[in-house]
Every structure is written in structure tokens, then in C-alpha cells.
Structure 1
């Protein structure tokens, strides 16, 4: 297969993936057939005054219990009113009641569910408790009380039904938000400087709305059934034509005039059935997922297209979380530091209490300096950086004696003020590039939006800057890159786009968290070389988090060794490699040298896989 064939295949896959839920729904027999029937029912309700042959409340005593005929196509009821006219007007009443219920449940349930899932904390606990309480309340008793107190006000009754439907929407919105909130691309968008509201609107709602649509189809059917049930019990205005009231009258005359019960029952049953089928079809379509692209295929596609994928995480800015000056740093004041944190401590809540994972770390990065934080998994290096970027999970809490970002003291800054630094002072390059891209949006969108929101650029200006940054990081076809989706590129290309996004905001400090972990050996070397060039070109300070001393030796001026949440050793790279003071440091260096020899052996045998 040629690279052109691969490109065409991926373009077709992308086009299929971008096909909206609605279009897929219209191509499914379980979608367009019931939808057509439901739209016909809606049109009947909307144009009831034009379609009904006579006034639904007009009484013709001669037509009492009349069988179907030319004058009364479906016959007359017990008082001589035209059944067809009342059935048509009853469609309008039923749909209006269902709409009131759905709007009430949507307006209350979805925003509260999204907020509870996204922000958590006390609001989540209180909202969840209220949702559970609503489910435990006997709804019919409340409805009877409301009917008595409001003199059978139809709109108020259906709004009350909507309140009891809120827990269904709340649970769906909350669970979907919780699932999406943990995705790396959400953290990436936050570090890029986007506000919580913007993240919710652009990234979270995208995942919430498909199951909400399904819930709406099912809720509409339930609301119609409950409305008919209330009217069947005699709750409501008898002068208002409705399917439930017609069913009540038909039930009373079932033995002598069964046709009166047939027509409204058939209309209600048909409407609920098509809604159920549409909901089932939507559920089936939403469960369909785009197959993951294998690393090898993704590499081929990325090479063929000459593109990379970008993320909102790219343009990130330094946030304020507590930290302190590092031992062995160059002699300069806090005002001259690109980043300075003093006595940083990170604590995580556990079922048995709290566990401190970072113990009083002090960190100082001078302008233009390249500093590496190295240590094994669990050493606290990533927790330290996440504290600076405000990316700790909800269970984490960071404190520090002092924080300086770009020479400015932000120790006492509010979270909003610290968040305003993101995308301006600190850029962030995360590990696992594919996970830090939102699969629902193009690369161009994910690069342009942070530039517009964080830096106030016009769309054309933001697009031009993003394009220039893609060219700078070695992507030769930036226009194609910006049209691409994340699944269309390889990991190496995606990492380059993350770097492009990170430097697009022209930060004074670039933080790279394990920037080469998910990449093949050859691509690792290319990414490190690119970071080295960009750091020198833009005069940025560079803070690299890694477990590999080979990366440190390749690019860093100074290194901080961490173990178990403490700084074990720190100093210039050359002197630390020449004469490490701690046994743990010697072990890490030895392990990295062994790994380097293994990679060299792979190079000689030619079995290495490249991206």
C-alpha cells in the first residue's frame, strides 16, 4: 500500500468519523421511519386548528355515540362532540405537556449534573443528595397535592412532573462529565488558559449531549404516559381536549361503545412507541466508537500526511501553586526567576486520612536555564509540576511558603488570578500526546481557540500564528495539519503539535512532562533536539520531568533528583554525572547507561521501530 493509499484511507475514516450523530440517525431505518411518524404527529398538533373538521367542544346531540361516517369520520362521543377533532386537538395538548416536562427536567438536571461532575466538592454532595431525595418522594401524592392547590393547573402539573424527571438527567450529565473530566485533554485545555465555562461548553457538553438526547426521547414518552394517567384520573380541565380525558370517557363506555377508547389509546401508544424506538436507535449509535488506530498505522498516516495533531494543552500558562527555591540553583533573586517555589508540600486524601507525597520541595529555575527533575515512578516529580500547573486531582492539595512566576510574586494570588497566568507565562508539553488531544475537534481548532481566548487574538491572527508554529516545529503541511483530527497522525507528529501549541503563547517557561516517554527512540531524539533549538531560539527557561538520566544528560544544565517526595540531590549536570554524592543517584545513572546500551544494540541490529 502506497502512502497515497494510506492517506485516502485515513481521509475516508475521518470523514466517516466526523459524520454527525443526526446524519447517522437519518441513515438508520430505526431512525428515519419513527422520526417521520413523530414529525407527522407534531405537525398534526401544531396545525390542529386547520386540520380539525370542527370545534372540538361543539356539541351535536344527534351525533352522540355516532359510529364513524362521512360527517364524523371517527364517530361522535357520548355528548355528540366530534372524536376526530378532539383527537387532533388532544395531540396538541399532549405534546405541549410533554414539552413542559422535558424543558423543566433539562433546565434543572443537565446544568446541575455537569456542575456537580466538573467541580465536585460540596456542590456535588448536596446536588446528589437532592437527586436521591427526589427519587424517594412519592410523586403521585405530590401531584395530587399540586392539582388540588392549583385548581388543576395543567402547566404547573406538567412542570411538577418535570421536577421528578430531574434525577434521570442529573445522573447522566454527572456521570458523563466525571468520565470526561478525567481525560488529559481537559487538563490540557485548562492549562492552556481556557476558563472552566469555556471548557464545559466546548469539551464537556460534547460528551454529555448524546445520552441526554436519548434520555429526552424516553422522558417524552414517560411524560405523555403520566399526563394521560393524570387526565384518566380526572385531574385537569375537562373542557380541554386531551387523549387522557378521551380514554377516561371511552373506558366508562367500553362495553357499549369501545371505539371511543380505541382512538386515543392507539394515538398515545403509537407516539410512545416511536419515541422509544428513536431512543433505542440513538443509544445504539452513541455506543459506536471509532476503532483505535494502531501505532504503526498511525505512523504511516502521519508520515503520509506530513501532519501532527494539536491540543488545547499546547498553549499553557504557569499557574500559581506553592513551591520554593531549589538547592544548588544559580545565584539570582526571586524577581529574576522564571519559576521559584519554596517549601512545597502536596497532600492527597485517602480513605484512612491524608498522605503527603511531596515533602517541602524547593525549586528554582532561572531565565534561559534548562532544569531536569528526575526520579523513578512515585518519586513526586510529576506531583511537583502538577502543583505548579494547578492540575492536581480533587483529592490533592498543595501548599507552599512562596511562589514566583516570571519574576512576579503570586503567593497570595487567587485561583482565578493564577489561572490567568496560564497560556502566558508557562507553556506545557504533556506526556502521552494522543491522550491530550480532544478527538472531537480538529487540530486547528485546538490550537487556535487558546490563542483567541488567552491572548485576545482575532481568528485570522490566531490561525496565522498557529500555522507559523507548526512550520517551526517541522510540520511541512500546516494547513493539512490544522484540518486533521488526532487519530489521523502519529504520536511523534502529535507531540510536535503539542510543542507548537506550547510555544505559541511565547511563554517565559516551558514545562515538559516526560515529553519522550510515549515515543520511539528515533522520535525521542528528534523531539529533544527540537526542544533544545526552541529553548535557545526563544530564550525560554525549560523544566523537564523525566525518569531517564539520558534525557537529562542530553539537554539539561542542572538536575534535581527526587525520591519518595524529597529532593535527594541537585547540581549542575556535568558535576553530578562525574561525582554523584548519593547512592540513589548513582543507581539511576547506571540504569540509564544500561538502557542506552540496549538502545544502541537495537540500532546495530536494525530491529528498532520508528515513528
Structure 2
């Protein structure tokens, strides 16, 4: 498929905008406590790394003439029972403590985040297995586990802290799992799957950033507890005994042994522990607040007027394709066989009473370059049918019967491997709510370039250039400015155009538009419909349009499929449906047009409501609301029969409808 760069319209779309958020670390400068905590911890790390290079005295040098002396000019924090400088020993003793904390935090984060993301995103048996494993680890008393490790690896601080991180990781696993389960149901995550991104890419790009706040809080709290745990083990002589050098733990133990003689010795080491734990907690809270609040605030940012785009050779090639499609001339893709063929599609969802069928026996074809509309009331199965074509059924739904053939490939296989390969590349989807399909954490250009790289072997620079081309293709003014924007800075119409650009990033042959204008006002609806019509002509792609608006159907589609209560009740060319409907439901939908009502009269409506799948009547599903219903309508299943060339209806009273016209 060939793409085209067009000159953007001079009409300017505006909407609420917010200042582009900068790096969250810059906000640290406006948080005095957070900045002070970060400075203290950074200084502590430097001191621990430097070892004896920065100490004013040798931490192991004895001075028996000045034992247990208080603070003085020679010894700023006094001396211990052997006359060794307490300040120097605190500096050197920070190394084993911080190293042990770092080892525990690394294991805690790697296991907790990795297993939590996998469990929350995969669900099913994988989720249950990982959750049970975490519960099993939590059931083991932590102190017993640490003592067992130290019995096997005596005086090994690294083994003890790694074990501490391991037995503590299920607490982080639970938090990450819960957040991941909530985020995986966001529409922008489903849009990422639809774009063809792999599961690891979705986890890294769209799930992991949303975990930053909760993970930072949990890590800061765990790091503080790890400092205390390492100190306690060293205090008991189990992890870093005094013979291996000073550590904060064995210094606390030494101070405890002489507390009746010199209480001061406990103050420096205890003070360091208290300050370090407080600094970790304050820094975690500050970074969490900066991370989750960096996108807040609003302002109005002017949108610069676009410069005319340069018409390239790619545009000329696309114009040739458009002319061929407009004139009805055959193209290279214009084969006689349909691009999409759906036969006997049946979809079921799990329920406490067992599986419930929500779509039954649906069948239709879509030719190359054709626009087919699926129309009907809410609850008729339109969206479920459309999403089954790309393997994105929600809530455990599955295809239980029928076939979906796309260019000769079966998309209804239970494993879903074939549709996963085609999704986002040859098949694109536009959802009802464009803003929910965009990740709020990333700029528009970044998200679009990511999808381009997924489907085309391009460098990052080439991907960014192609993203700007796509934004120009959907006629956005100033594509560069839009690419630098976050989703919350876009208006509804701009967000819908970006969603269309994402769907076009893989250059699809088939575009599924699931009520793409529902959330937009009338003016923007018209612009989006004109854009879809223009894109069809330029690219020659086929379109399946899900809608409940007969005006949209007549404006874009050549053929229409009318669905009611999970079944196709009629399908025909759009002009035939308008002038000669052959099913009472189609006739009732057309008669319910509010524009047909005179001023002061009650708006026309179909009596009753669409029955839920669990309450479908026997025979014709529309019979309880149908004015033509007879006893024969409920005697058995009503077949879909051909009543004229290309016109099918699921009704036994076709002749009565014909006579009533």
C-alpha cells in the first residue's frame, strides 16, 4: 500500500492544552525535604564508595589512651572501647550496609516487578500459579528463612540480604499485579495490541511506566526496612561480624555492650540509622509525587499555522492509485475473491451459568477497496463482531464456530497466531474513544513512531519522519507540534485523527472503524467522515464501519449489514436498504428517523428493547417487537435467504413487506 503526504488544512483545531511536562527530577529542586534527602543519600553513597580515602583517621587504629572519649577536635564523634575513631568507622561501615541494602533491593524489584507484571497481564493459570507461589513464600516466617540461609552460608552478608529480598518480593508482586490488571484493561493497551506490538514491548512501554509511582513507594519502604534488617543481623553477629571490619550493625552491638559505661557511643550510629531511614522514606514520597503529578496543570498553547507540505513522488504514486479506484479500473489488489469473508461466525462469553452465545451465524464479505457498514441498535453484537475480526474479544469471549478468512488466511483459529501477525499491519482498527486509546504517559509522536518501527525496518529518525508523514496524511495542522504533544493536549477531533494515523501506521488493507464519530460533535464528525472517505480513495483500503447512524452509513458505505440480537437480519447495497427494505427491523429503524417527525409530535421509536442473549426468543429474534409477527415466526430458526441479487433477509414475510411498499 502506498501512503501520501498532503497539504494540511488551514482550519485550525484547538483544544485544552497543558504545558509539556519536563523531567520529573527538575521538580526535586522545589521540594526542600526531598532535595535534602537526595543530597544526603548521594553523599552517603560517595562516602561508602570511597572507603578509607575520605576518612580523617585510620578506622582500625587503636588508641588505648583515649578509649570511650566523647567528641573532641581530634575525634569529632568520640572513640570506641579500643580508642578507634567513631566518625571514620561510621564512614567505612556504611559500605557493607549499603551494599547489602542494594543487593536486597535489586532482588526485591526484579522478582516483584517481573513476576507481578507477568501475572497481572497474562491472567488465567499463569496468574494463579505465580500468586500461589507468592503466598507460599509469604507463609514462611522471614526470620526462620534468614537463619536457615545463614546456617548454610555463615557470616555471609550478601547471601542474607539476597534471601531477605527474595522473601519480601511477594509484597511488591501483589502491588504490581493489581496495578497491571487494572492497566491492561485500558483502551490504549488494547490499541497497542491492535497495532501489533508484542507482549514484551507492551509491558515495557505501556505497563511499566504506570508502575513507577507504586513501585517507588514500595522500594523506598523496603530499602528502609533492609537497612534495619542488615543492621540487626550484624548486631547479632550473624552477617558481618566485627572481625570482618566495621559495619553499622556491629557498631550498634559494641555500643550496646558498653551503654552502662558510655551511653554516647550509641548516639552516632543510632542517629545515622534514623536519618538514613527517614531520608529513604522522604525521597520515595517526593519522587512518587513528582512522577504521578508531572502531567497536571493546564494552559492554552497556540498552535502554529502549518507550512504547505511538499508533494513528493510518494504522493504522485498514491494519486495514481486514487484515480484508478475512483474510475473503477482494476488495480493489482483488485482480485475477484473477497478480501474478508466471514461465514457462520458464532461468539460466546463465559457466565456463572456457562457459556452464553452473543453472536450467532454471522456472515458477510468485504471486497478489496469496499466500505461495508454494520448497523443496528446497541446490544445487537456489532462491536463484538468487529473486534472478533482482530482477536480482541473482551472478558474471555471466544469464537466457538464459523470462519473468518482474510486474504485466504484463517483468523478464527483458537491460538490467534495468524490474527496476531496481521493485526496492526494488514488490519487496523479505530476505536470509539480515541483519547482512551492513547497512552497518557508518552508524546503522540513517540507512540506513532513505535508502531511504525514495529511494522517497518526503519531507524528511529526514519520512524519519526514517517510519523510526521502519517500525521500530515490525516490532515492535522502542524504535524510537528502535534507529535510533540501529549494526548491530554489534543482536542477530540485531533485525538481521533491521531488514532486514525496509528491505524494506518502498518499500511493496512482493511480498516475496521468502530463508531469512529460517536464521541465527537457534529462539525468534527463531518470532518472525520470526509477524512475516511478521502483516505479510502487515496490508499484503496477496504473499510468495515460499525455505526448506528444511518446518515453515516449512507455517506460512506456501498453495502450494509443489519444486525439484531446477535444475528444478521438483512444485508444489501445501501441504496436498496433505503428504498426497498426486506426486513421489518430495517423498516422500523428507517421509520424511527427523528427528522421525519413533525414539530410538536412524539419522536418515532421502535417499541420495546433489544433482548439480552440469555433471553433471545425462539425463531425470529425480532418477533416480540414486530408488527408483522405471526405464530410461524416462533416455530423455528429463520434462515437468511436471498430475495434479490445481492439482497438477503432473515424473514418469512418478505412478500408482505414488498406488498406494503
Q: Give TM-score scaled by structure 1 length.
A: 0.85
In structure 2, the partner of 1:355 is 356
Gaps of 5+ in 2: 1-9, 308-333, 600-661
C-alpha contact 1:76 1:82 (8 A) present in aligned 2: yes
Displacement, 1:139? 0.5
Match of residue 29 from structure 1: 32
Whether contact under 8 Å (2:55, 2:91) holds in the other structure is yes
Deviation at 1:445, TM superposition (A): 1.8
Residue by residue, what CA displacement relative to the aligned partner does 1:337-380 show, whole Å, maximum 9, x if unpaired? 22123222222223443222222322321112211111222211
Deviation at 1:597, TM superposition (A): 7.2
Aligned residue number for residue 398 of structure 2: 397
CA contact (8 A) 1:301 1:490 kept: no
Distance 1:430 1:306, change over 3 A: farther
Q: CA deviation at 1:273?
A: 0.9
Unaligned runs of 5+ in 1: 308-332, 600-611
Task: Classify the secondary structure of the residue corresponding to 1:511.
Answer: strand
**For residue 251 of structure 1, what is the aligned residue in structure 2?**
256
Query: 1:596, 1:257 → 2: CA distance?
Result: 97
Does the CA-based 8 Å contact 1:444-1:483 persist in structure 2? yes
CA distance in structure 2 between the partners assigned to 1:287 and 1:465 by the alignment: 31
Taking only aligned residues, the RMSD between alpha carbons, in angstroms, comes to: 3.0
Structure 2 Cα separation of the partners of residues 31 and 93 of structure 1:
25
SS in 2 for 1:420: helix
Matched, 1:104 2:114: no
Give, in whole Å, the separation in 2 of the partners of 1:465 and 1:238: 63
Q: CA deviation at 1:221?
A: 0.7
5 Å matches for 1:188-227?
A: 188-227=191-230
Alignment pair present for 1:527 and 2:532:
no
Distance across 2 between alignment mates of 1:554 and 1:8: 27
Q: Does residue 1:138 correspond to 2:141, yes or no?
A: yes
Shift of 1:166: 0.5
User: Could you tell me how far apart the structure 2 residues matched to 1:53 and 1:234 are?
Assistant: 27
Q: Deviations over 1:84-112 (max 9, x none)?
A: 22211111111111101100111111111
The alignment partner of 2:425 has SS state of coil
- 1:66 deviates by 3.3
The residue aligned with 1:451 is 452
How many angstroms apart in 1 are the aligned matches of 2:45 and 2:598? 70
Question: Alignment partner of 1:393: what SS?
Answer: coil
- How far 1:212 moved relative to its partner? 1.6
Structure with the larger helix share: 1
Aligned partner of 1:387 in structure 2 is 388
| Inter-partner Cα distance in structure 2 for 1:486 and 1:136 | 44
Query: Is the deviation greater in 247-256 or in 103-112?
Result: 247-256
Residues 42-53 of structure 1 mapped to structure 2, 5 A cutoff: 42-53=45-56
Q: How many angstroms does 1:534 deviate by? A: 1.8
State how far apart, in whole Å, the 2-side matches of 1:525 and 1:102 are. 55
Is 1:371 the counterpart of 2:372? The answer is yes
Which of 82, 85, 89 lines up with 2:88 in the alignment? 85
State how far apart, in whole Å, the 2-side matches of 1:304 and 1:69 are.
67
Task: Please name the residue that 1:330 is paired with.
Answer: none
CA distance in 2, matches of 1:463, 1:70: 62
Which structure has the larger Rg over C-alpha atoms? 2
Deviation, 1:519, is 0.8
Offset of 1:28 from its aligned partner? 1.3
Q: Tell me which residue corresponds to 2:152.
A: 149
SS at match of 1:107: helix
Deviation at 1:454, TM superposition (A): 0.7
The residue that corresponds to 2:242 in the other structure is: 238
After superposition, the Cα gap between the structure-2 partners of 1:581 and 1:440, relative to the gap in structure 1 and judged at 3 Å, is same
Identify if the C-alpha distance between structure 1 residues 384 and 491 changes in structure 2 by more than 3 Å, giving closer, same or farther.
same
Counterpart of 1:164 in structure 2 is: 167
> Which residue of structure 1 aligns with residue 282 of structure 2?
277
Q: Contact conserved, 2:369 with 2:541, CA < 8 A, in 1?
A: yes
Shift of 1:598: 10
Say if 1:339 and 1:598 are closer, same or farther in 2 by CA, change over 3 A: farther
Distance in structure 1 (CA, Å) of the matches to 2:488 and 2:598: 31
Q: How does 1:2-81 map to 2 (within 5 A)?
A: 10=17, 13-15=18-20, 18-81=21-84
Residues 1:496 and 2:497 aligned together: yes
| Residue among 98, 113, 117 paired with 1:114 | 117
How far 1:301 sits from its partner (Å)? 6.6
Distance 1:55 1:303, change over 3 A: closer
- Residues of 1 paired with 2:462 and 2:71: CA distance? 70
1:124 is matched with: 127
| Corresponding position of 2:656 | none
Q: Secondary structure at the match of 2:237?
A: coil
| Counterpart-to-counterpart distance in 2, 1:132 and 1:341 | 46
Alignment partner, residue 612 of structure 2: none
CA distance in 1 between counterparts of 2:287 and 2:481 reads 32
1:460, distance to aligned residue in structure 2 (A): 4.1
For the Cα contact (< 8 Å) 1:510–1:541, is it kept in 2?
yes
Tell me how far apart the structure 2 counterparts of residues 534 and 77 of structure 1 sit (CA, whole Å). 81
- TM-score norm. by structure 2 comes to 0.79
Q: Is this contact kept in 2: 1:406–1:425, CA < 8 A? A: no
* 8 A contact 1:75–1:83 mirrored in 2: yes
Residue number in structure 1 paired with 2:539: 538
Aligned to 2:479: 478
Give the superposition deviation at 1:389. 1.3
Contact 2:100–2:161 under 8 Å retained in 1: yes
Instruction: Check whether the contact 2:305–2:477 (CA below 8 A) recurs between aligned residues.
Output: no
> Are residue 575 (structure 1) and residue 576 (structure 2) matched?
yes
- Report deviation, 1:414: 5.1
Quick check: 406-415 or 570-579, which moved more?
A: 406-415
Check 1:91–1:194 CA distance in 2 against 1; reply closer, same or farther (3 A cut). Answer: same
Q: Per-residue displacement from partner, 1:186-242 (whole Å, max 9, x unpaired)?
A: 111111121111122211111112322222222111100111122223322232311
Partners in 1 of 2:301 and 2:356 — Cα distance? 45
2:594 corresponding residue in structure 1: 594
- For the pair 1:261 / 2:266, whether they are aligned, the reply is yes
Per-residue deviation, 1:140: 0.9
Alignment CA distance shift 1:150-1:38 (3 Å):
same
Which deviates more, 466-475 or 158-167? Answer: 466-475
- Measured after TM superposition, the shift of residue 9 of structure 1 is 8.8
Task: Give the number of aligned pairs.
Answer: 562
Q: Following the alignment from structure 2 to structure 1, what is the Cα–Cα distance between the partners of residues 598 and 407?
A: 40
- SS of the residue 2:350 aligns to: strand
Shift of 1:419: 1.4
| Alignment check: 8 A CA contact 1:334 1:404 kept | no
Match of 1:507 in 2: 508
Q: Give the aligned partner of residue 325 of structure 1.
A: none
2:19 is paired with a residue whose SS is helix
Query: How far, CA to CA, are the matches of 1:152 and 1:488 in structure 2?
Result: 57
Distance 1:390 1:433 in 2: 19
Distance 1:198 1:46, change over 3 A: same
Structure 1 SS opposite 2:252: helix
- Alpha-carbon distance change, 257 to 504 in structure 1, aligned in 2, over 3 angstroms: closer
Would you say the 8 A contact 1:302–1:488 is kept in 2? no
String of CA shifts for 1:4-31, please: whole Å, max 9, x gaps: xx98994xx323xx22222223321221
Distance 2:284 2:160 in 1: 25
